[in-house]
Every structure is written in structure tokens, then in C-alpha cells.
Amino acid sequence: MHVAILVLILAIFLQPGCSGISTAPLDMAAIDPGQDQKKIAAYYRQEAVVARQQAEELTHRAVVYERLFGPESEWVSGARLLAQYYEETAREAEQLARRHLKLPGEAQTPSPPMCDRCRQ
């Protein structure tokens, strides 16, 4: 009984090419019109959102660390440096997303909404 279930599960997961979806990996570094540039841009936009969330969290942590350990603490300066790093990472990811959307034949899509902190 258990062997039959195991064989059935393996057969489902190992069926080759039944979905019809291309499984070729996208070349994220290439600015090649043959690649799905919208998917690549969406990936970079999502990476920017995540990096901005991390920057925001680290900025909040720096405030907490300042209360706990004082403004000259290495915890505070470390958190602030990491927040700056993630903010720069977000800007770079957004720049990459824009670059991929500016390729000939790609539709221009609006940028995702920014949080209040990012608009300043």
C-alpha cells in the first residue's frame, strides 16, 4: 500500500514537460530582447521592495539600540550602515528593473507605489 502511494507521488512529480511552461532559466544579467524582460523587471522590483523593508526595519532597530546602548554604540552605527546598504540595494534593483523595461518592444509599466518614507 505504502509503496503504491510512493510510486504514484513520484510519477506525479517526475512527469517531464506536462505543464507546457518553459523551464529555461532567465538570464538576469543579459539585456536580451529574447528573454522575458517583464518577468526580470518584476523580480528586480520585488527585490527592491524587500530591500526597502529591511532598510526600514534596520532604521527602527537603530532607534531601539540608541535607547538601549546610547547613540555612540556600535550596535547603532552598524544598524544604520546596514540600513544604508539595503536602501542602496533597493535603488540598484529599481534601476535594473527600469533598464529591463526600456528595451525595444517592452511595454512601459508604472512603478509600484512607494511608502511614505520612500517619497521623501
Distance CA 114, CA 52 (A): 10
Whether 114 is in a domain gets the answer: no
If one counts the domains in the chain, the total is 1
Whether 115 is in a domain gets the answer: no
Whether 50 is in a domain gets the answer: yes
Tens of pLDDT along the chain (120 residues)? 556 665 556 555 555 544 444 455 565 665 656 667 888 889 999 999 999 999 999 999 999 999 999 999 999 999 999 999 999 999 999 999 998 888 655 444 444 554 454 444
Whether 85 is in a domain gets the answer: yes
pLDDT at residue 39, as a whole number:
87
pLDDT at residue 83, as a whole number:
96
Cα end-to-end span (Å), the chain? 63
Q: Report whether 97 contacts 118 (CB < 8 A).
A: no
Whether 76 is in a domain gets the answer: yes
Whether 53 is in a domain gets the answer: yes
pLDDT at residue 109, as a whole number:
47
Whether 44 is in a domain gets the answer: yes
Q: How far is CA 13 from CA 17, 18, 19, 21, 45, in A?
A: 11, 10, 11, 15, 31
Cell 544604520 identifies what position? Answer: 80
Whether 66 is in a domain gets the answer: yes
In which domain, by residue range, is 53 found? 35-103
